[in-house]
Structure 1
Amino acid sequence: MDELKQLVDDIGRRSYDAQFGKRRLPEVFDADLWHTLDESGLTRLITEQDAGPRELAVVLAGLARHAAAVPIAETDLLAGWLAAEAGLEVPAGPLTVGIGAGGVARDVPWPTDAAIVLAAREADGLYVGLLHDPEVTAGHNLAGEPRGALEYDTDGLTGLDPAVGDELVRRGAWARCVQIIGAFDAALELTVAHTSERVQFGRALSKFQAVQHSLAAMAGEIEQARAATDLATAAVTDYGFGHARADYAVTVAKVAVGRAVTPVTTIAHQLHGAIGVTIEHQLWSATMRARSWSDEFGSTAGYARRLGRWALQAEDPWDVLISSPTS
């Protein structure tokens, strides 16, 4: 696992350095990075390499640390898996997934750079299919990552159990938690380096007690979020994404990570000052990704309400509080 982490870090760092000064809104798909990852066998770890969530988590977090502009989670964990569930053949290269309802799919990641596998969650069930040359209304999230909207109809799509759609969302929620932790690590590393190097009144910023308290608070929020995400990774590894324990653990992680986004990103920008808000600075890429990803595949508030309902409905709410769901 250490070797995999080092490999991903080296690839991600070289990619970021190559893109330095070239970032723009919306971001452009990094074809060179994708080629390198594909040659290294990292684009389809789960669907083709017989790896598991632990290995994929290393890849997702490592690439997120370096603001990689490629849809790895969408290709491997989401669209590739969903296509296999529906018995669809998908092309080589990047894939993405569109989750729609009522004939419209919104916020589709990388919609013009990847083949789109649609999951239409309609009133009469889940319909899945590979879209060919759909008309996409292009946009982007706060970090500049391409997001798009498209219309569809369900003719010719494959019907699946709605539980597959639930698992798809759970997979996406877990992936975003892992990626946010990677973005958090980048933000903390940059903030520690900046406060150590920046001199104010004859002393490094990191020597001031208020700055030390802020850094400690930032690190504490990150480690709390990391612990919840590690729990979710262990649950999906041991039980699979379709299990109730995985559902519970991913819900907890989505709440913990989502609630950490505001304090972590706020402290990072406060300690960087004006420099941290420019698109050219790596901090901007990290914090804007964290803020954007926290609302994808369900909001923090939505998952918090879900936890609350479980506690109210449980025979013993203590089971919910100590991470011991009954099923």
Structure 2
Amino acid sequence: MTSTTMDAATAELLTGSLRNLFAGSAGRAVGPALETLGWSEVVAEDPAGATTLLFTEHGRALASSHALDAVLLAELDQVLPAGNGTRAVLYPHPGDGDQPSTVDGPVRGLLLAGLESVDEVVVPVRESGSVALLTADPGSLPTEPVAGFDAGSGWLTVTGWQPSGTTVPAAKAWERAVAAGRRALAAEIAGVCQAALGLAVAHTSARVQYGRPIASFQAVRHRLAEGHVAINDSASMLDAAWAAAGSADGGAWAAALAKLRAGRAQAEVMRHCVQVLGAMGLTSESAMHRYVTRASALDALLGGHRALSEATGRTLLAGAPADPVVEV
């Protein structure tokens, strides 16, 4: 579990409220609904506990919303001019890893929900070897629904947009924003994995072969246990990432490791879940494919686990200090 000052009863109450929220709105109107719950006060009291709860349930529900935007904007708004309404963030395209497009364009990226209620989009770009920010009119962005692996997620791709306007230097703010985003994504991936594992447990408990549930067979139980261990291992790294969040760079190193571990966990959990479901795990008849695709898509956002493993290896080989030190 992530370090938190929240007592068990409060956590249980908030978890129930969040599940009701996502069940009723699919998460798209999460901002106003959270305001009704007084969520800003919960976050101010316990940032680690509140953020982990929110994104774990966001993942469980397979929700699409601007919730992650709010996490990044908490850091980016400190260097941006005052806005005149609701802002969203354009994320680097997964094909570019965690690197924004160059300022001379064209820009490509991802939006995590529709822009109907958005007044301004914050676009990170690379300029003179560093990261800067500029803002865009939502109507100027050429968007298309994400197709392929996680089609139906509500995410949008932006391609071919030509930047214009004044940029704002934001290297440090972007580093802190990415760290915050990676902590939130690690929790969200864990929520997706928990839901998938729950589905696998339910299936193997109901499926009977040779006169008994297949969940009673040792090979199946081992797969489910390994998935559970992977999720808990990821949660431990997220705990360490939150402990480092107060540093000047926002705990960038630890956040990258938490995201890396979460990405590895989802790969292991989904492999085991699909395997124990047998043929059902390979068809659209089961909901498992939705968790598989969403977990993989979240892993790719702000740096997938393979890319982060390579970057971590290069950093360690270069002699950089590693705190926390973990097996990667």
TM-score range, shorter chain: 0.7 to 0.9
Matched, 1:121 2:126: yes
- Counterpart of 1:138? 144
In 1, the alpha carbon distance for the partners of 2:59 and 2:17 equals 12
Q: Aligned residue for 2:296?
A: 291
Aligned residue type for 1:97: L
2:80 maps to 1:86: yes
List gaps (5 residues or longer) in structure 2.
1-5, 93-99
| 2:263 aligned with 1:258 | yes
AA partner of residue 232 (structure 2): E
Residue 30 of structure 1: how far off its partner (Å): 3.1
Preserved CA contact (<8 Å) 2:27 2:65 = yes
Structure 1 partner of 2:16? 10
Query: Residues 141-220 of structure 1 correspond to what in structure 2 (within 5 A)?
Result: 142-143=149-150, 144-145=152-153, 146-220=155-229
In structure 2, the CA distance between the partners of 1:84 and 1:135, relative to structure 1 (3 Å rule), is same
The answer to whether residue 38 in structure 2 is matched with residue 41 in structure 1 is yes
- Between the aligned partners of 2:84 and 2:59, the Cα distance in structure 1 is 25
> Alpha-carbon deviation of 1:255?
2.3
Partners in 1 of 2:262 and 2:63 — Cα distance?
A: 20
Code of the aligned partner of 1:60: F
In structure 2, relative to structure 1, the CA distance for the partners of 1:171 and 1:249 (3 Å cut) is same
C-alpha contact (below 8 Å) 2:90/2:124 kept by paired residues: yes
The ranges of structure 1 where at least 4 consecutive aligned residues each deviate by more than 6 angstroms after the TM superposition are: none
Q: Distance in 1 between matches of 2:75 and 2:19?
A: 28
TM-score by length of 1: 0.80
Structure 1 residues 322 and 73: CA distance shift in structure 2, 3 A: closer
- Kept after mapping to 2: 8 A contact 1:186/1:283: no
Structure 1 residues 34, 277: CA separation in 2 closer, same or farther (over 3 Å shift)?
farther
Give the TM-score taking structure 2 as reference length: 0.79
RMSD of aligned Cα (Å): 3.0
CA-to-aligned-CA distance 1:238-295 (integer Å, 9 cap, x gap): 436x14xx12211222222222222210111122234445557543333322111111
Structure 1 partner of 2:55: 60
Q: Which residue identity is paired with 2:108?
A: A
C-alpha contact (below 8 Å) 2:134/2:168 kept by paired residues: no
Q: Which residue of 1 aligns with 2:236?
A: 227
Matched, 1:77 2:65: no
- CA positional deviation for 1:124: 5.6
- The 3-state SS of whatever aligns with 2:244 is helix
In structure 1, the residue matched to 2:96 is none
SS of match in other structure, 1:85: coil
Q: Secondary structure at the match of 1:291?
A: helix
Compared CA separation, residues 131 and 114, structure 1 to 2 (3 A): farther
Aligned equivalents of 2:287, 2:31: Cα separation in 1? 20
- Structure 2 counterpart of 1:306, which letter? A
Specify the code of the residue in structure 1 equivalent to 2:101.
A
